[in-house]
Amino acid sequence: MDQSPPSSTLYPAMALMDYMHAPTVGFYYLGACAFSLCILQKARSIPDKRRRGIVAFMFAILLAYIGEVLYYFSRSIAEQDYEPPKPAAIRCLGSILVWSPLAYSLWSSKSLRWHAYFGAFVLQFAFEITTFLVSAFSIPANDRQKNVPFVIEFIRAFASLFLLLDAFVVLVTKQVETSTDEERQSLLGKPTDGSATQNFNGTYGAISQDTSSDDEEAAPKDDRDKDVKAQQAKRLEEEGGWLGYLKGFAVFLPYLFPKDDWKVMACLGIRLVHMLSERVLNLLTPRQLGIITNKLQHSYETKSGVMPWKDIGLWVLFSYINSYAGLGFMDGIADLVISNSAYRRITLLAYKHVLGLSMDFHTSKDSGEVLKAVEQASSLNSLIEMVLFDISPILLDLFTAMYYVTHLFDAYMAFIILFMGAAYITIGWYFTTLSQPKRRDYVEKQRTESSTVNETVHNWQTVAYFNRLVFEHKRYAENIINTISAQYAYYFRSAGGHAAQDLLTTVGFAGACVLGMSQIVTGQKPVGNLVTLIMYWHTMTSPLYVLSYSYRHISSSLIDAERLLQLLNTKPTVADQDGAKDLVVHTGEVEFKDVDFHYDERKLIIKGVNLKAEGGQTIAFVGETGGGKSTMLKLLYRFYDVTGGSILIDGQDLRSVTQSSLRDAIGLVPQDPILFNQTIRQNIRYARLEATDADIEDACRAAAIHDDILGFPDGYNAKVGERGVRLSGGQLQRIAIARVLLKNPKIVMLDEATSAIDSSIEALIQQAFRKLSQGRTTFVIAHRLSTIADADLILVVEKGEIIERGCHRELLLREGGKYKELWTKQTAGHLATPASEVDSTKGEQGAAGEESKLLVDLTTAGEGEATGTGTERRDDDQGTVGKRR
């Protein structure tokens, strides 16, 4: 008796339903999961008892499908004239392919998006109950118990019913539980779970971290991206899902594919044409070889001796066009043009944006993170390239391959490829997850090895001072051994996955060939079909590797893009107002009006400062470190905006003028100048790019550095080293002074500009300063009070307030004054006549004479005692540029 289910043979509509059963359930589940992911539907946890019951029913359905397939297979082997019903067999094979991952994901996941599962269970029950009822009406009552497929259908139908009922109970129960949980939520927000938590300020990216800086330094890349991932998750929630999230990256499209750049758009067209032609030629080339094989076989059998030259020519043409010598060469050039254009545009965009950010960003930034973000143009381009030119064609290739191999042989061949592909991707995912801890350990060891080299190379002097060359050599050797050991551990797991995948493809290829050969032997298919299959096999299986490992690449590229997007979304706190005008400086009058400022709202740094500097005056700030002196100069330079009051230059509020014009009008000599690793001439010309060599040399003469430079072997062409490390502290500061002299600004700021200059040079520098100050407003910060004795106005700053003001003579005569106290401390032990005795001298003229004498004595004797730090950069003022050769 034929024990096949008669539904598919008696009713053609049922055969169609058998074919559509597995794809409908599978694609609904995938679509529902994708939709839930896009709208960020919350995953729900299921009680373990309920989960075990649902999983049991799912495995019962899966085993029923496997049992039916085994029944058809064993009977076809036992009975030569038996042919399994193809619709029923395909339904079982497809359902195995669908229910295996569904059952595994339900069993292994702690929380699930239940609507996707519930919908799949509804569809499964609808298909199974319909198939069962049709079979029940088609099979005579006496034969039903003997019909194995019918009995299996009966088991599946009732298992599907109970599965649907259980799923419905879970759906309703969880809705009630969710409502109860919401009522129990704390009014203060979500409880923390030990992971990154949001700060109460609610600002973008405000994620507190409980990891220490040491852990952050030692962590591998994946851990260092933890903060970016947290911000990515926060933005996902804010945007309402992945669709809104990905729209945020649309800002990069004009830079990746600019419409106004015809070269890039033409290259994009070339790439699209190549992608489509490659899909067609991937199919036509092996097909043409199969046609040639069939004609050669026919020629051999008929002994006609006819060569299929036309078909051979087409095969050669298809192979040429699809090779790198054909369209591949043009596609490679187009890809290079698009990549370089995207890299140039986005990198320059990020670079310009970073340089335009305010000082608060640059003082708190992680330089490595910023540099990494600026370099993300290639990651963005590779992300779009993978989606457009790798993953999308793979999906097209998949459907084409399934149709074509079915046409060449039958649907069973397509299922061999589908099962092999699913297993291949699963193995790749499993071994990637398995090797991830070893990869983290390997990357960490690499970072430790690299860190050891950097530390010892940058601190070679410390190694030499303590004679620890042997120790450092041994430490580095141990790090190398640890890195190699970690690499072996990672390699063996990763290589094991590749070996398992290759074994799978070998077995799948052999099975496909055996199936094809069996149909050739029975005369069902020609030999050329097998040749086509063999040639087409690589085209079908090569995308599996991309699908297997592309998720990590996509995730990494999204993290890189998120980092760049966050950087571009960072707005400068100091920005030009709409309609801001250029600063026009006439006399250079500077006025602070009730200026308040704070870096942090909890601590005020500048408190109600009022001062007015007439054009051409020299204003000196003195006081203890941390009092707010440098902050005032930063406010004048508009590195920060005042939080209260205003600063005006010739009556123009700094917030109403452009930053560019303001900084063109101001020159600054910092306490610790930093130079580019270029020549001395290039560093000085940086102040005024159009300056001539004569202008540069005149500025160096005025700064008393010209003779030193001529003493170097390469003169003005001598390289100064990274950050100017080959120059002494005094040489560095004199070059910084020369740059300001060359710039010739209207307003000059000197921040401890003579701290690293010896007494023999200071007189020349002071003379240069007096020349520079003529007709210019000058602000000086000094700890060595002898350098500002000639200032028109001296301001004593303490804790952000001006507590004393006046000229040098007036402040010395003030009993109990802070300035007098500082002067006394600096002159103690160096002068025969202390400052206190000056006040006791009779007659104003005598006191003035003593002050003049004290100033002269201090110029030669007070050097170094006032600061004690500026001269520690070098023991002498010669530097290393002159000694290198």
Confidence of residue 103 (pLDDT cuts 50, 70, 90): confident
Residue-wise pLDDT for 486-544, tens only, equals: 999 888 888 888 888 888 888 888 988 888 888 888 888 888 888 888 888 888 887 77
The one-letter amino acid at 409: F
For range 678-706, the mean pLDDT: 88
Report domain extents, the chain.
7-183, 229-391+553-572, 410-524, 590-809+845-873
User: CA–CA separation, 425 vs 415, rounded Å?
Assistant: 15
The 8-class DSSP code of residue 657 comes to B
pLDDT at 484 over 90: yes
| Highest-scoring range by mean pLDDT, 136-145, 492-501, 780-789 | 492-501
Judge whether 291 and 314 are in contact, CB under 8 Å.
no
Q: Which comes out higher in pLDDT, residue 259 or 330? A: 330
Q: How far apart are CA 217 and CA 225, in angstroms?
A: 12
Report how far residue 462's alpha carbon sits from residue 289's, in angstroms, rounded to the nearest whole number: 71
d(CA 708, CA 741): 17
As given in the structure block, the two tokens for residue 420 are 């092999």
Residue 287 pLDDT grade (very low, low, confident, very high; cuts 50, 70, 90): confident
Residue pair 580/657 in contact (Cβ under 8 Å)? The answer is: yes
pLDDT of residue 834: 41
Give me the pLDDT at residue 744, please.
Answer: 84
Give the residue with greater pLDDT, 640 vs 247: 640
Position 268: which residue type?
A: L
How, if at all, do strands 644-649 and 652-653 pair?
A: antiparallel
User: What confidence tens digit (pLDDT) does each residue in 572-620 have?
Assistant: 777 777 888 888 888 888 989 989 988 888 888 888 889 888 888 889 9
- Residues 6 or more apart whose Cβ sits within 8 Å of residue 509: 537, 541
| Of the listed ranges 3-7, 762-766, 780-784, the one predicted with least confidence | 3-7
pLDDT confidence bin for 867, thresholds 50/70/90: very low
User: Which pTM value belongs to this model?
Assistant: 0.60
Q: Taking the alpha carbons of 490, 495, 500, 505 in that order, is the dihedral positive or negative?
A: positive
**Is the distance from CB of 330 to CB of 270 less than 8 angstroms?**
yes
SS3 state at 614: coil
- First vs last Cα of the chain: how many Å apart? 103
Q: How high is the pLDDT of residue 824? A: 86
788, 855 Cβ separation under 8 angstroms:
no
- Tokens at 571, concatenated: 């707005």
3-state secondary structure of 719: strand
Q: Are 608 and 594 in contact (CB under 8 A)?
A: yes
C-alpha–C-alpha distance, residues 528 and 427, integer Å? 33
Burial of 328 (0-12, 13-18, 19+ CB in 10 A): middle
Q: Which helix (H) or strand (E) holds 677?
A: none
pLDDT for residue 711 is more than 60: yes
* Exposed / middle / buried, residue 666 (Cβ in 10 Å: 0-12, 13-18, 19+): buried
Percent share of the chain, pLDDT over 70: 77
Assign domain 590-809+845-873 to its CATH architecture: 3-Layer(aba) Sandwich (3.40)
Q: Which residues pair with 749 in a beta bridge?
A: 668, 779
Task: Report the distance separating Cα 4 and Cα 147, nearest Å.
Answer: 7
194 versus 396: the higher-pLDDT residue is: 396
**By C-alpha distance, which of 343, 345, 328 is closest to 382?**
343
